[in-house]
Amino acid sequence: MPIYQNLPIITVQDPKHAKKTARNQLHSGARLLVLGNNVMLYRHLLTLAQAKNHAIYIRDVVNVDKQDDGAAYRLFHSDVLEQMYQNELENNEMQSLFVYLFVLGDLFDSYLNRNIFHKERIIMAMRGYFFLNMWAEYIESANQLYSSIFSISKNFISPQSFKIFTSLAESLILLIISHREFYSLYPLYPWEHGTEAIEHLFGISRQITNDFSFYEFFKIQQRVAYRDKIIRQGIQIQKEKTSASGYIFDFNPNSISNENIDILRIWPDDNAIYDAIKTAYNDAAGFIKALGIKLLNDKTIPHFYVSTSHQSMVISDLSKNCNDDFDIDNISGLDFNNEEFELDNLNENSFTDAASEVARLSKLVDLTESELKQISDISDSSKVELNHILNTTKFSSLIEFQQNELFYTNGLMNVSQIIQIRTSHNAFSRSERPCQNRRLNAIQSSNNQEEFNRNSANLLISEFF
């Protein structure tokens, strides 16, 4: 892990972009994803969307917007797994898709869920890490036996996607360890570690000026700030024809409860992290076996040592201390970057000059003192959170979660338990809820003779802004 001026620097992929990438892998016509006894096809998604009790929309499958956050949110929601279960689809050709959506959905929501313990996040993330490595190993071994049929380039996710997904798992552990060592009194909000705030800023800017220069970007920041304030207050100004596509800013206007804040600053020690990694490995192996894949290296999880020294902060493995007959390279083990980067030798004047230039350009925006105060005011919800964090240095030790078994003793998947766990892991989102929830409202409102034209209402509201 890079250390700069005795502080950690961690690179993190954006989890919401990763979720969209995982969705797009299923839409690729250049690949036939083979996972065990089944393949994952575009036809499966279309079947789910066309079903009576559908949890995804037709527009999520036909003529898709690949950058639609709402579509990615719906696809990896537990309601899709529930739909498969109710229609007994998980027992036939969609079984591999069921596992894909659960494992990767949990990987992404290990960042995006706002209510779970960090140890549970590690299990969710590392389960995806090991599962992807085992899947890749399966395709590679099949290629060695049937090179004319199987190929890692045609029957597995893209190498870029694989790198993004595994990097998410690695970065999450590094985030938890670094916060435990350097910022133990402050909660870790993993959903804040991404590019969402930056994209939100540029997204609003493009609503005002579609194509702007660097100078124009700073000139419009006052209007951007006001429009951001409107969005945070829950006022919808977009027209309905564009509301189903694009980036969704998941700002939660409500403050996080004191209990959740305390949960988010309960740090697993090294032994707890190892236990979580071991559980994740066993879960991944269980899914691989349930899909009819025989593990080539079905061994227990290798031992990992977490160095939490402020001087090194490097995750290293103890493969050298393992038995000689234990081949760690043949297991989908962790492969964190153990190199430390010497950043102290960089010219610090370059950072200072860059900061000064940004400050100079920011003065181009002529804001009055009252306007500046209005924009920079901390929201009431943030004040509540900060007050609890700063005034509660000692918090009660909460009872940690109990990991539920995902498999029966015979190795079959406990589908109902898997869906229940996925439901508890669903990420927070301001996007439209899955179809099942909205359909209930539609049925209740169908008896009302007066139909409300939402598009006209949105158009009317937009005229005032």
Please state the domain extents for the chain. 3-444
Confidence at 284, pLDDT banded by 50, 70, 90: very high
Whether the CA torsion 84, 90, 96, 101 is positive or negative: it is positive
- Burial string for 295-308 (b: 16+ CB within 10 Å, else e) reads eeeeeebbbbebeb
Instruction: Indicate the residue type of 116.
Output: I
The reported pLDDT for the residue numbered 226 is: 79
Mean pLDDT of 46-66: 91
pLDDT at 294 over 70: yes
Give residues with Cβ within 8 angstroms of 335, minimum separation 6. none
pLDDT at 56 over 90: yes
3-state secondary structure the chain: CCEECCEECCCCCCHHHHHHHHHHHHHCCCCCEEECCEEECHHHHHHHHHCCCCCCCHHHCCCCCCCCHHHHHHHCCHHHHHHHHHCCHHHCCCHHHHHHHHHHHHHHHHHHCCCCCHHHHHHHHHHHHHHHHHHHHHHHHHHHHCCCCCCCCCCCCCHHHHHHHHHHHHHHHHHHHHHHHHCCCCCCCHHHCCCHHHHHHHHHHHHHCCCCCHHHHHHCHHHHHHHHHHHHCCCCCCCHHHCCCCCCCCCCCCCCCHHHHHHCCCCCCHHHHHHHHHHHHHHHHHHHHHCCCCCCCCCCCCCEEECCCCCCCCEEECHHHCCCCCCHHHCCCCCCCCCCCECCCCCHHHHHHHHHHHHHHHCCCCCCHHHHHHHHCCCHHHHHHHHHHHHCCCCCCCCCCCCCCCECCCCCECHHHHHHHHHHHCCCCCCCCCHHHHHHHHHHHCCCCCCCCHHHHHHHHHHCC
The reported pLDDT for the residue numbered 317 is: 38
pTM (2 decimals)?
Answer: 0.74
Mean pLDDT computed over every residue of the chain: 76
Query: ∠166-44-32 over CA atoms, to 5°?
Result: 55
Please compute Rg for the chain using Cα positions. 24
Q: By the 8 A CB rule, do 421 and 43 touch? A: no
pLDDT at 255 over 60: yes
Q: By the 8 A CB rule, do 274 and 409 touch? A: no
Mean pLDDT of 401-420: 87
Give residues with Cβ within 8 angstroms of 200, minimum separation 6. 228, 247, 249
Q: How many residues does the chain have?
A: 465
- Burial string for 62-96 (b: 16+ CB within 10 Å, else e) reads eeeeeebbbbbbbbbbbbbbbbbbebebbeebbbb
pLDDT at 270 over 60: yes
Residue with tokens 């909660």: 187
CA distance 137 to 304: 21
The reported pLDDT for the residue numbered 113 is: 93
Q: Which of 86, 66, 59, 52 is nearest to 22 (CA)?
A: 66
CA distance 61 to 66: 10
Mean pLDDT of 323-328: 39
> Chain-centre distance of CA 221, in angstroms?
29
- Burial string for 246-283 (b: 16+ CB within 10 Å, else e) reads ebbbbeeeebbeeeebbbbbbbbeeebbbbbbbbbbbb
pLDDT at 174 over 70: yes
Task: Name which of 264-268, 311-315, 390-394 the model is least confident about.
Answer: 311-315
Higher-confidence residue of 224 and 333: namely 224
